A = this chain, B = another copy of it.
Amino acid sequence: MAKQSRKLNVAMIGYGFMGRAHSNAFIQVGHFFDLPYELILKTVCGRNRAAAEAMAAQWGWEEAQTDWQSVVTRTDIDVVDICAPNHLHAQIAMAAAEAGKIVLCEKPLAMNLAEAKQMASAVRRLPNLVWFNYRRVPAIALAKDLVGQGRVGKPYHYRATYLQSWGADPERPGAWRFRKTEAGSGAMGDLLSHSLDLALMLNGVITEVTSLMQTFTPNREVDDAVLALTRFANGSIGTFEATRFATGCQNRNYFEIHGAEGAIRFNLEDMNRLEVFDRNDAAGVQGSHNVLVTGLEHPYTSHFWPPGHIIGYEHTFIATLADFLDCLAKNEPFHPNFDDAVEVQKLLEAVETSARSGSWTRP
B284, A247: Cβ atoms closer than 8 Å: no
Query: Which residues of chain B are near A333, meaning CB under 8 Å?
Result: none
Q: In the bound complex, how far is the Cα of B259 from the Cα of A243, in angstroms?
A: 12
Q: Convert A20-54 into 0s and 1s, putting 1 for each residue whose CB lies closer than 8 angstroms to a CB of B.
A: 11011001101100100000000000000000000
Which residue of B is nearest A314, CB measured?
B305
A289 in contact (CB, < 8 A): yes
A127 to chain B, nearest CB (A): 24
B247, A261: Cβ atoms closer than 8 Å: yes
A74 to chain B, nearest CB (A): 25
How many copies the complex holds: the figure is: 4
A253 to chain B, nearest CB (A): 9
Query: Which residues of chain B are near A216, meaning CB under 8 Å?
Result: 156, 235
Q: In the bound complex, how far is the Cα of B275 from the Cα of A288, in angstroms?
A: 10
Binds B, one of A1-9, A96-104, A199-207, A290-298: A290-298
B309, A251: Cβ atoms closer than 8 Å: yes
A360 in contact (CB, < 8 A): yes
With known contacts A159-B241, A237-B212, A292–B285 Cβ distance under 8 A: no
A308, B251: Cβ atoms closer than 8 Å: yes
A288, B285: Cβ atoms closer than 8 Å: no
Q: Convert A305-322 into 0s and 1s, putting 1 for each residue whose CB lies closer than 8 angstroms to a CB of B.
A: 111111111110000000
With known contacts A210-B229, A258-B248, A262-B248, A145–B358 Cβ distance under 8 A: no
Binds B, one of A79-87, A263-271, A339-347: A263-271
With known contacts A229-B227, A245-B157, A247-B259, A287–B276 Cβ distance under 8 A: yes
A231 in contact (CB, < 8 A): yes
Q: In the bound complex, how far is the Cα of B288 from the Cα of A145, in angstroms?
A: 20
Query: Which residues of chain B are near A165, meaning CB under 8 Å?
Result: 258
A342 to chain B, nearest CB (A): 26
Q: In the bound complex, how far is the Cα of B239 from the Cα of A252, in angstroms?
A: 17
Of B31, B262, B297, B310, which is within 8 A of A58 by CB? B31
A145, B289: Cβ atoms closer than 8 Å: no
A329 to chain B, nearest CB (A): 18
A164 in contact (CB, < 8 A): yes
Max chain B Cβ within 10 angstroms of own Cβ: one of A164, A225, A269, A360: A269
Of B228, B231, B248, B276, which is within 8 A of A263 by CB? B248
Of B159, B166, B285, B313, which is within 8 A of A309 by CB? B313
Q: In the bound complex, how far is the Cα of B265 from the Cα of A252, in angstroms?
A: 14
A233 to chain B, nearest CB (A): 14
Q: In the bound complex, how far is the Cα of B17 from the Cα of A163, in angstroms?
A: 36
A59 in contact (CB, < 8 A): yes
A284, B297: Cβ atoms closer than 8 Å: yes
A270, B270: Cβ atoms closer than 8 Å: yes
B295, A285: Cβ atoms closer than 8 Å: no
Which residue of B is nearest A281, CB measured?
B289
A178 to chain B, nearest CB (A): 16
- Other A-B pairs beyond A239-B241, A249-B308, 8, CB < 8 Å: A28-B28, A30-B58, A159-B161, A210-B358, A227-B239, A248-B288, A278-B285, A290-B290
| Nearest 5 pairs of A and B residues by beta carbon | A250-B308, A251-B308, A248-B277, A312-B312, A287-B291
20 A-B pairs in the complex with CB atoms less than 8 angstroms apart? A21-B305, A24-B31, A30-B58, A157-B245, A168-B260, A214-B237, A227-B237, A246-B263, A247-B259, A247-B262, A248-B262, A248-B263, A249-B308, A269-B308, A276-B285, A287-B291, A290-B290, A309-B312, A310-B312, A311-B313
